[in-house]
């Protein structure tokens, strides 16, 4: 087999087995820049060296590096906007009706990437509606990528990050600008946002889900990279992790059409959600 194809096939299979992320042969060009990063990081002089590297078992550090590299962490603040407004205006009041005596509500962002989704949830709850203060929510945020989680935990964003989706009044209210000695600007979320979520790693395909725990789960723009069997497996587990009547928030354009799972589609404030039946 030609060396290049052997390398592509190896990484496509490795990443699929570890994460469920699919790189089909027609998508192999999307591996190129990642493979170049591996070549330069490990200072391989040619593909024979890369080939001998992949023929030996990876150390835990290698594995973490590779999985961080092959996940796509694209995200931005207030992505799709409508679900965030609907969360504050409708989902939380609906949940309060179903669970009037629950002292805290529990929200899980299960593929939170670099944290923009999580801080957007805080800002929405704090700004669009006041029936539940973010402080009275148990916010759990997980991802497979440790590098994405490190950025989420730091709560520090570049000027480009904050230009993507974040309304200017939110930037002023919830962030503080910093300048380093070289005059590089960054924006840090304020301490009350930074300490709000509990971050941890969680692999949607390998780890054990809680039962009947969360009132709302955000699972956005992650299952689009999975095949139908793995998507079903994750959704069955999310169903288990939600409380009865709890809501699943998908990305715009994602759906469960044809999957016949025990969720019903509901609409609030022009946004669609799935409710556990």
Ligand X SMILES: C[S@@+](CC[C@H](N)C(=O)[O-])C[C@H]1O[C@@H](n2cnc3c(N)ncnc32)[C@H](O)[C@@H]1O
Residues in contact with ligand X by the rule CB under 6 A: 19-21, 71-75, 79, 111, 113, 117, 143-145, 148, 202-205, 220-222, 251
Pairing of strands 156-157, 214-218: unpaired
Token pair belonging to 74: 């694209």
Q: Distance (Å, rounded) from C-alpha 11 to C-alpha 248?
A: 32
Residue 7 or 21 having the CB closest to ligand X: 21
Q: Which is nearer to ligand X, 253 or 258 (CB)?
A: 253
**In the bound complex, what is the minimum distance in angstroms from residue 260's beta carbon to ligand X?**
23
- Three-state SS for the chain is CCHHHHHHHHHHHHHHHHHCCCCCHHHHHHHHHHHHHHHHHCCCCCHHHHHHHHCCCCCHHHHHHHHHHHCCCCCCCCCCCHHHHHHHHHHHHHHHHHCCCCCCEEEEECCCCCCHHHHHHHHHHHHCCCCCCHHHEEEEEEECCHHHHHHHHHCEECHHHHHCCCCHHHHHHHEEEEECCCCCEEEEECHHHHCCCEEEECCCCCCCCCCCCEEEEECCCCHHHCCHHHHHHHHHHHHHHEEEEEEEECCCCCCCCCCCCCEEEEEECCEEEEEEC
Residue 46 Cβ vs ligand X, minimum distance, rounded to whole Å: 30
Residue that has been written with the tokens 């509500």 in this structure: 105
Q: Which of 255, 197, 205, 194 is nearest to 229 (CA)?
A: 205
Q: For ligand X, give the closer residue by CB, 8 or 76.
A: 76
CB of 164 to ligand X, least distance (A): 10
Looking at beta carbons only, is 72 or 186 nearer to ligand X? 72
CB of residue 134 to ligand X, shortest distance in Å: 18
The residue (of 50 and 107) whose beta carbon lies closer to ligand X is 107
Minimum separation from the CB atom of position 43 to ligand X (A): 26
C-beta of 22 vs 132, nearer to ligand X: 22
Smallest gap, in angstroms, from Cβ of residue 77 to ligand X? 9
For ligand X, give the closer residue by CB, 93 or 165: 165
State the minimum distance, in angstroms, from the CB of residue 131 to ligand X: 25
């Amino acid at each position: 087999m030609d060396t290049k194809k052997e390398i592509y096939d190896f990484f496509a299979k490795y990443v699929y087995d570890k994460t469920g992320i699919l790189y089909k042969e027609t998508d192999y060009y999307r591996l190129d820049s990642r493979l170049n990063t591996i070549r330069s990081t490990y200072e391989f002089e040619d593909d024979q060296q890369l080939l001998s590297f992949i023929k030996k078992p990876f150390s835990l550090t290698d594995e973490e590096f590779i999985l961080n590299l092959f996940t796509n962490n694209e995200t931005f603040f207030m992505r799709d906007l409508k679900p965030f407004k609907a969360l504050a205006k409708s989902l939380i009041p609906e949940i309060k009706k179903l669970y009037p005596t629950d002292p805290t509500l529990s929200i899980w962002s299960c593929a939170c990437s670099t944290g923009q989704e999580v801080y957007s949830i805080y800002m929405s709850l704090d700004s669009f509606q006041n029936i539940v203060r973010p402080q009275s929510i148990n916010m759990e945020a997980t991802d497979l990528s440790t590098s994405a989680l490190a950025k989420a935990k730091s709560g520090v964003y570049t000027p480009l990050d904050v230009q993507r989706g974040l309304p200017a009044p939110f930037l002023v209210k919830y962030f503080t600008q910093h300048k380093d000695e070289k005059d590089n600007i960054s924006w840090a979320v304020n301490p009350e946002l930074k300490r709000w979520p509990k971050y941890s790693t969680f692999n949607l395909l390998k780890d054990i889900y809680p039962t009947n725990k969360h009132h709302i789960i955000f699972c956005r723009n992650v299952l689009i990279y999975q095949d139908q069997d793995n998507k079903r497996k994750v959704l069955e587990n999310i169903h288990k992790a939600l409380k009865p009547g709890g809501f699943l928030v998908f990305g715009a354009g994602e759906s469960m059409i044809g999957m016949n799972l025990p969720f019903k589609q509901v609409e609030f404030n022009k946004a669609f959600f799935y409710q556990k039946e």
